C-alpha cells in the first residue's frame, strides 16, 4: 500500500497497547503497518471495523530473517517505529527455567534490537527525520521482586533509547522510551480482579503519549525515558 502519507510501523501491533497505538497513529494521519504473530490473529484483527485501514503483516519477530523481510515489505522511508512487542512472565528468578529465561529476553529485548537494526536504513531514509518509541516498563526504573529478569530486559530497552538517541542524532532520528506501569488491559483485569482498575493508565492514554513522541511537536525530544504511570 502506498498512500503518500508518512509510514509508521508498530510491532506487537495486534496486542492491547500496539492495537491502540496503531489506531491513534492512523487518526494522526500516518499510513500504519502493524505486525501480527500468526495468520489467524492477522485476519481476525483486520476484520474488526475499528482496525480498518491498518496494514497487517504476519511476522514472527523472533525470526531475524523474517524481521528483515518485514522491512522490505513496509519499504522506505519510514517516519515512525513503535516497538511494543513484549510480555510479562513473573516469579522468583530462581524459579525460572532456561526456556523461561530465553523467552523473556527474546520477548522484551532481543526482538527490539533486531527490529531496530533492520529498520535503521528505512528510518534514515526519511527526509524529515524519523521517530522511534520503544516500550519499556516501570520496572526498568524501579526493579521489583518477582520480576527481576523482566525488569532487567526492560532496563535494556530504556538504555537502548539513551544510546541510540546519540548514535542516530546526525541521522535526524529521535529515540525515546516509555515506561508504562500496569495498564488497564483485559489480561490485567483477568489476572488481578481485585485491583482498582481506575488507577491504571488506559492503553489509549499511553498511546496518546506515543502519538506525541512521534509528532513533529516532539522533534527535539530524544533520549527520553518517560514514565507513564497514571495513578499506578
Ligand X SMILES: NC(=O)c1ccc[n+]([C@@H]2O[C@H](COP(=O)([O-])OP(=O)(O)OC[C@H]3O[C@@H](n4cnc5c(N)ncnc54)[C@H](OP(=O)(O)O)[C@@H]3O)[C@@H](O)[C@H]2O)c1
Q: Which residues contact 72 (CB under 8 A, 6 or more apart)?
A: none
Q: What minimum distance in Å lies between the beta carbon of 151 and ligand X?
A: 10
Rounded distance between C-alpha atoms, residue 72 and residue 66, angstroms: 10
Residue 151 found at the interface with ligand X (CB under 6 A):
no
List the interface residues with ligand X, window 126-145 (CB under 6 A).
Answer: 135, 137
x-or-dash string of contact with ligand X, 162-201, rule CB under 6 A = ------------------x-xx-x--x-------------
Residue 62 found at the interface with ligand X (CB under 6 A):
yes
Residue 17 found at the interface with ligand X (CB under 6 A):
yes
Concatenated DSSP letters of 124-179: HT-TT-EEEEEE--THHHH--TT-HHHHHHHHHHHHHHHHHHHHTGGGTEEEEEEE
x-or-dash string of contact with ligand X, 196-225, rule CB under 6 A = ------------------------------
Residue written as grid cell 492512523? 26
Q: Are strands 173-180 and 55-58 parallel, antiparallel or unpaired?
A: unpaired
List the interface residues with ligand X, window 71-100 (CB under 6 A).
Answer: 84-88
Cell of 168: 542516530
What does the binding site for ligand X look like in residue numbers (CB under 6 A)? 12, 14-18, 35, 37, 41, 60-62, 84-88, 108, 135, 137, 180, 182-183, 185, 188
Amino acid at each position: 500500500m502506498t498512500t503518500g502519507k508518512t509510514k509508521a510501523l508498530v510491532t506487537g501491533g495486534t496486542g492491547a497497547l500496539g492495537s491502540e497505538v496503531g489506531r491513534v497513529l492512523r487518526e494522526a494521519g500516518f499510513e500504519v503497518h502493524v505486525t501480527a504473530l500468526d495468520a489467524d490473529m492477522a485476519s481476525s484483527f483486520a476484520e474488526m471495523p475499528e482496525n480498518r485501514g491498518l496494514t497487517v503483516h504476519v511476522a514472527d519477530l523472533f525470526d531475524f530473517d523474517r524481521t528483515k523481510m518485514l522491512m522490505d515489505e513496509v519499504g522506505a522511508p519510514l517516519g515512525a517505529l513503535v516497538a511494543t512487542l513484549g510480555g510479562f512472565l513473573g516469579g522468583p528468578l530462581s524459579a525460572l527455567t532456561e526456556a523461561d529465561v530465553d523467552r523473556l529476553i527474546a520477548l522484551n529485548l532481543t526482538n527490539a534490537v533486531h527490529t531496530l537494526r533492520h529498520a535503521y536504513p528505512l528510518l534514515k531514509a526519511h527526509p524529515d527525520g524519523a521517530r522511534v518509541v520503544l516500550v519499556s516498563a516501570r520496572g526498568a526504573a524501579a526493579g521489583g521482586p518477582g520480576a527481576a529478569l523482566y525488569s532487567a530486559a526492560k532496563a535494556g530497552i530504556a538504555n537502548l533509547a539513551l544510546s541510540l538517541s546519540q548514535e542516530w542524532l546526525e541521522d535526524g532520528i529521535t529515540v525515546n522510551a516509555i515506561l508504562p506501569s500496569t495498564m488497564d488491559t483485559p489480561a490485567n483485569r483477568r489476572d488481578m480482579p481485585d485491583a482498582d482498575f481506575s488507577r491504571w493508565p488506559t492503553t489509549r492514554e499511553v498511546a496518546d503519549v506515543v502519538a506525541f513522541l512521534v509528532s513533529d511537536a516532539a522533534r527535539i525530544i530524544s533520549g527520553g525515558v518517560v514514565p507513564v504511570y497514571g495513578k499506578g
